């Protein structure tokens, strides 16, 4: 009985696979036209969202101008939270929480960083020199520093 059941099961599976296969005259090749080329034309009055140049600096009134249109920045911050943050929650030196890492990666700048081609370029450092007993790093001009004790910039 087991042999007959096995034979019928195998016969049914083979028949189903053969019946579902492609037909010989089934030739529905679709020409996809090669690589996609973006040919979008920007309509009049619209500002391009392509990163063709960096955003301009914000002026003293909190506005910046892109493509002749002036935008104002928001001067308040709204948030909803479940618990009161503690001192150690956002301290990236002692807390290795994944979500913390995602945030401080964009907020803390180092002396050097890697560019798009993995070359080491200066972030806060303008240059460096190597001497016999010490290494020197020149920081870029007008980088604000905060005093730890007083909080003065």
pLDDT digits (tens), the chain, 153 positions = 788 878 788 878 777 777 676 666 555 565 555 554 545 555 555 554 444 445 567 788 878 776 677 877 766 667 776 666 666 666 666 666 666 666 666 666 777 776 676 666 777 777 777 778 877 777 777 776 777 788 776
Q: How many CB atoms lie within 10 A of CB 34?
A: 6
What is the chain's percent helix, strand, coil content, to nearest 5? 15, 15, 65
Flag whether 118 is in a domain.
Answer: yes
Flag whether 135 is in a domain.
Answer: yes
Flag whether 42 is in a domain.
Answer: no
Length of the chain: 153
Number of domains the chain is built from? 1
Flag whether 150 is in a domain.
Answer: no
Domain span holding position 103: 85-139
Coil, strand or helix: which one is 49? coil
Flag whether 108 is in a domain.
Answer: yes
* CB half-sphere exposure, 49, CA atoms < 13 A: 2
Flag whether 112 is in a domain.
Answer: yes
Query: What is the reported pLDDT for 36?
Result: 43
Query: What is the reported pLDDT for 51?
Result: 44
120: β partners: 114
Query: What is the reported pLDDT for 85?
Result: 64
């Amino acid at each position: 009985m087991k042999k007959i059941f096995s034979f019928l099961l195998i016969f049914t599976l083979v028949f189903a696979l053969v019946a579902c296969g492609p037909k010989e005259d089934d030739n529905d090749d679709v020409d996809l036209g090669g690589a996609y080329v973006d040919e979008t034309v920007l309509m009049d009055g619209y500002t391009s969202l392509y990163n063709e140049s960096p955003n301009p600096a914000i002026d003293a009134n909190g506005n910046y101008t892109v493509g002749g249109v002036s935008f104002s920045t928001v001067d308040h911050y709204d948030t909803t939270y479940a618990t009161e943050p503690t001192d150690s929650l956002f301290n990236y030196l002692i807390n290795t929480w994944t979500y913390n890492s995602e945030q401080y990666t964009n907020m803390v700048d180092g002396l050097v960083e890697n560019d798009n081609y993995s070359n080491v370029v200066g972030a806060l450092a303008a240059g460096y020199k190597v001497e016999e007993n010490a290494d020197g790093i020149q920081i870029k001009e007008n980088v604000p520093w905060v005093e730890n004790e007083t909080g003065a910039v």
